[in-house]
């Protein structure tokens, strides 16, 4: 693997630098860093340590680079890792890996299989992390913003799991407050025969057709009675079930569903308010209770309890995150819409107050946030702003069905296949951009089966390799003994380099909370495969060369499969 080769080279460079420093009485050098040159012709890895040290060591960088290279050769003759190296520009050292070092990744992939790229902690000390995502109010169907959260959160959880982290997925239901009261009021109005546009239709009511569906279902249920609390309970349960169906369709599962209402019933909200009052972090003004969030960098203090006695929405959030810490989750990541940006300072400020009162060591940056921007849906060249069912927005279910080309004429089997296509497209598309950028979801592009559709492009690479291996007809286990020294073409070299980057890319994407990096990588890997396929015929008469190229393809298929699994996207053998 490139990461393994890089680590070996870093060790060799560190030993050589330490020897030079000791020999010349110079200060101890830092650990050298390696990077991939932008131009392939410049080698496989490059190092600029000579430039970094030249001033401190009072040496010409090119002379220092030359001394370093000579010492490397004296130590072990590059130990079979490096084929050649050259000094470029003001003092860069460009290294070319040996063919044996570059092709070693193929056997590493074939032997590791589905675990290739993972970095598990085998000593039982694996840390845990909670990822909270989707967390939709149970007041309507899941919209495309929730879909982006679901795709990001689930992929992020899978990414962290590849690094040996125990991941807990949690969904926080805001089942208390004004919006839930409006939901109950909306259903009651439907039960009384009212509909949107009628003179007596409540101004704050929800207008979607799903409200009529809830009213019809409630009227037919044994629990039916014209009581606002009974209506509220039924409507919340109905929509929670509907959201569960959508999440199942999207292939997302949670370990826990946490209810906001429980924070009131178990006294958590009252307790944290009392804690903050006891340490002097609050004050009364204009009949309201305020939190001194300016003490923690907020631009102004925030109201906790309004003059009517009700709490503002961030107060139960503080209680909820207190619960997260109390449950042992010292690493927490919240995936939310960018409209929650203003909440961050308030929640963190409240947590610092609670920590002060209870003697906890909660970091000031706790929890972490991944904020995503809005999604615009385009269909037939026009922006789609509303759904008949939701009334004011496009639902996740709409997006999956449209992207899969689902029609009412399909058989159950055809529908399931279409839903899988739609789920794959929606997941891949919504992950394929940085979370903090706005995204235009083009339904027409999702339906295309050509190279312009990124998910099709990646999946087709996997399917094409599967077809080649099937055409060959042998056992993949037989490829373990392939003579990989025969892989010497430019196209195979590019593909080998890309495969070797996978473990390091996973680690970087997990550390930076950036699942889009994996989507980028898979597109690049698919592109390198397609280039190789067009340049080097695989099923040639030369048996040894054929097996070497088949081994390379089998390894490529495995990495495509592994990466797609992390994104929650299928890897079809046929397309």
User: 3-state SS string over 489-552?
Assistant: CHHHHHHHHHHHHHHHHHHHHHHCCCCHHHHHHHHHHHHHHHHHHHHCCCCCCCHHHHHHHHHH
pLDDT digits (tens, 9 = 90+) for 48-86: 999 999 888 988 999 999 999 888 887 666 778 888 889
In this model, does residue 1 exceed pLDDT 60? no
Give yes or no: residues 224 and 305 share one domain.
yes
215 closest CA partner among 193, 196, 199: 193
Poorest-pLDDT segment among 164-173, 176-185, 436-445: 176-185
50 closest CA partner among 87, 76, 79, 82: 87
516 closest CA partner among 556, 567, 561, 559: 567
pLDDT of residue 44: 87
* 121 band by pLDDT with thresholds 50, 70 and 90: low
Asked whether residue 549 is domain-assigned, the answer is yes
Poorest-pLDDT segment among 11-20, 123-132, 147-156, 250-259: 123-132
Q: Is 420 exposed, middle or buried (0-12, 13-18, 19+ CB in 10 A)?
A: middle
Give yes or no: residues 407 and 476 share one domain.
no
Q: Which domain holds residue 234?
A: 128-372
Asked whether residue 123 is domain-assigned, the answer is no
- Residue range 247-270: average pLDDT? 95
Instruction: Tell me the pairing of strands 375-379 and 166-173.
Output: unpaired
How many other C-beta atoms lie within 10 A of the C-beta of residue 70? 12
Poorest-pLDDT segment among 80-94, 439-453, 489-503, 554-568: 80-94
In this model, does residue 2 exceed pLDDT 90? no
**CA within 13 Å, CB half, 216:** 5
Give yes or no: residues 296 and 239 share one domain.
yes
Interacting residues of 567 by C-beta distance below 8 A, sequence separation 6+:
151, 155, 158, 427, 428, 431, 515, 518, 519, 522
Asked whether residue 425 is domain-assigned, the answer is yes
In contact, 467 and 533? CB cutoff 8 Å: no
In this model, does residue 123 exceed pLDDT 80? no
Mean pLDDT of the chain: 93
pLDDT of residue 185: 96
Structural tokens at position 574: 């046929």
- Specify the 3-state DSSP secondary structure of 359: coil
- Residue range 255-269: average pLDDT? 96
pLDDT of residue 178: 87
Q: Using the 3D structure, point to which of 372, 404, 424 is the last residue of a domain.
A: 372
Q: Using the 3D structure, point to which of 335, 352, 372 is the last residue of a domain.
A: 372
Q: What is the spatial distance between Cα 421 and Cα 446, in angstroms, rounded to a whole number? A: 9
Give yes or no: residues 159 and 13 share one domain.
no
Interacting residues of 573 by C-beta distance below 8 A, sequence separation 6+:
462, 463, 466, 467, 470
Asked whether residue 138 is domain-assigned, the answer is yes
pLDDT digits (tens, 9 = 90+) for 379-419: 999 999 876 666 778 999 999 999 999 999 999 999 999 99
Give yes or no: residues 427 and 519 share one domain.
no
Q: Where are the beta strands (DSSP E) in 361-488?
A: 368-372, 375-379, 382-384, 439-442
Tell how far CA 467 is from the center of its chain.
30
Q: Using the 3D structure, point to which of 77, 97, 117 is the last residue of a domain.
A: 97
Q: Please state the domain count of the chain.
A: 4
In contact, 201 and 150? CB cutoff 8 Å: no
Q: DSSP readout, 190-229?
A: HHTT--TTSTTS-TTS--SHHHHHHHHHHHTSTT--S-HH
Poorest-pLDDT segment among 118-127, 139-148, 523-532: 118-127
Asked whether residue 106 is domain-assigned, the answer is no
Give yes or no: residues 365 and 382 share one domain.
no
Give yes or no: residues 76 and 22 share one domain.
yes
Query: Taking the model in full, what pTM does it have?
Result: 0.91
pLDDT digits (tens, 9 = 90+) for 353-378: 999 999 999 999 999 999 999 999 99
Contacts 24+ apart (CB under 8 A), 16-19: 16/68, 16/71, 16/72, 16/75, 17/49, 17/53, 17/68, 19/71, 19/75
Element (H, E) at 94: strand 92-97
Q: What is the spatial distance between Cα 174 and Cα 316, in angstroms, rounded to a whole number? A: 10
How many other C-beta atoms lie within 10 A of the C-beta of residue 38? 7
Q: What is the DSSP letter of 332?
A: E
> Which phi-psi region, left, alpha or beta, contains residue 350 (left: φ > 0; alpha: ψ -120 to 50)?
alpha
Give yes or no: residues 475 and 438 share one domain.
no
pLDDT digits (tens, 9 = 90+) for 283-318: 999 999 999 999 999 999 999 999 999 999 899 999
Q: What is the spatial distance between Cα 439 and Cα 148, in angstroms, rounded to a whole number? A: 10
Q: What is the spatial distance between Cα 18 and Cα 28, in angstroms, rounded to a whole number? A: 7
pLDDT of residue 306: 95
Give yes or no: residues 154 and 271 share one domain.
yes
Asked whether residue 86 is domain-assigned, the answer is yes
b or e along 2-33 (b: 16 or more beta carbons within 10 Å of the residue's beta carbon)?
bbbbbeebbebbeebbeebeeeeeeeebeebe
Check residues 131 and 85 and name the one with the higher pLDDT.
Answer: 131
Strand partners, 378: 383, 442
- Residue range 118-147: average pLDDT? 86
Give yes or no: residues 461 and 437 share one domain.
no
Q: What is the spatial distance between Cα 535 and Cα 202, in angstroms, rounded to a whole number? A: 67
- Specify the 3-state DSSP secondary structure of 27: coil
- Specify the 3-state DSSP secondary structure of 488: coil
Asked whether residue 267 is domain-assigned, the answer is yes
pLDDT digits (tens, 9 = 90+) for 23-38: 888 888 888 998 888 7
Give yes or no: residues 285 and 388 share one domain.
no
CATH number of the structural domain spanning residue 82 = 3.30.1360.70
Give yes or no: residues 245 and 344 share one domain.
yes
């Amino acid at each position: 693997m490139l990461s393994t080769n890089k680590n070996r080279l870093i060790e060799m460079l560190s030993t050589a630098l330490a020897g030079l420093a000791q020999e010349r009485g110079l200060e101890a050098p830092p650990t050298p860093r390696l990077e991939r040159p932008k131009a392939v012709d410049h080698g496989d890895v490059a190092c600029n340590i000579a430039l970094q040290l030249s001033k401190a060591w009072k040496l010409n960088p090119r002379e220092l680079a030359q001394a370093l290279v000579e010492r490397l050769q004296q130590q072990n003759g590059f130990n079979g890792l490096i084929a050649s190296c050259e000094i470029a520009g003001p003092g860069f050292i460009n290294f070319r890996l040996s063919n044996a070092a570059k092709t070693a990744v193929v056997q590493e992939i074939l032997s590791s299989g589905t675990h290739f790229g993972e970095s598990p902690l085998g000593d039982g000390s694996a840390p845990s992390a909670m990822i909270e995502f989707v967390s939709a109010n149970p007041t309507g169907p899941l919209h495309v913003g929730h879909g982006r959260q679901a795709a990001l959160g689930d992929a992020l959880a899978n990414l962290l799991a590849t690094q040996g982290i125990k991941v807990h997925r949690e969904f926080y239901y805001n089942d208390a407050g004004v919006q839930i009261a409006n939901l109950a009021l909306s259903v009651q109005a439907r039960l009384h025969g009212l509909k949107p546009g009628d003179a007596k239709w409540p101004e704050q009511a929800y207008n979607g057709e799903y409200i009529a569906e809830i009213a019809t279902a409630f009227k037919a249920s044994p629990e039916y009675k014209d009581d606002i609390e009974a209506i509220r309970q039924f409507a919340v349960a109905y929509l929670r079930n509907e959201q569960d169906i959508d999440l199942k369709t999207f292939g997302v599962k949670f370990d826990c569903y946490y209810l906001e209402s429980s924070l009131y019933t178990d006294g958590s909200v009252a307790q944290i308010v009392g804690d903050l009052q006891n340490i002097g972090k609050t004050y009364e003004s204009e009949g309201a209770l305020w939190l001194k969030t300016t003490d923690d960098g907020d631009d102004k203090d925030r109201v906790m309890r309004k003059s009517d006695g009700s709490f503002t929405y961030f107060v139960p959030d503080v209680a909820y995150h207190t619960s997260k810490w109390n449950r042992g989750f010292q690493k927490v990541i919240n995936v939310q819409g960018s409209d929650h940006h203003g909440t961050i300072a308030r929640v963190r400020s409240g947590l610092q107050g609670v920590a002060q009162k209870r003697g906890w060591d909660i970091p000031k940056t706790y929890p972490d946030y991944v904020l995503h921007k809005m999604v615009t849906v385009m269909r037939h060249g026009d922006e789609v702003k509303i759904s008949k069912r939701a009334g004011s927005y496009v639902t996740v279910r709409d997006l999956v069905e449209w992207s899969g080309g689902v029609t009412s004429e399909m058989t159950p089997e055809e529908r399931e296949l279409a839903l899988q296509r739609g789920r794959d497209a929606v997941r891949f598309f919504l992950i394929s951009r940085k979370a903090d950028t706005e995204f235009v979801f083009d339904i027409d592009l999702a339906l295309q089966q050509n190279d312009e559709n990124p998910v099709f492009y990646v999946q087709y690479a996997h399917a094409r390799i599967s077809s080649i291996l099937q055409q060959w007809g042998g056992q993949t286990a037989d490829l373990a003994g392939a003579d990989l020294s025969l892989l010497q073409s430019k196209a195979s070299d590019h593909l080998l380099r890309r495969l070797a980057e996978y473990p390091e890319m996973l680690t970087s994407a997990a550390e930076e909370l950036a699942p889009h990096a994996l989507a980028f990588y898979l597109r690049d890997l698919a592109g390198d495969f397609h280039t190789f396929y067009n340049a080097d015929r695989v099923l040639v008469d030369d048996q040894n060369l054929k097996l070497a190229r088949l081994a390379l393809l089998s390894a490529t298929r495995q990495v495509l499969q592994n990466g797609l699994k992390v994104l929650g996207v299928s890897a079809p053998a046929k397309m």
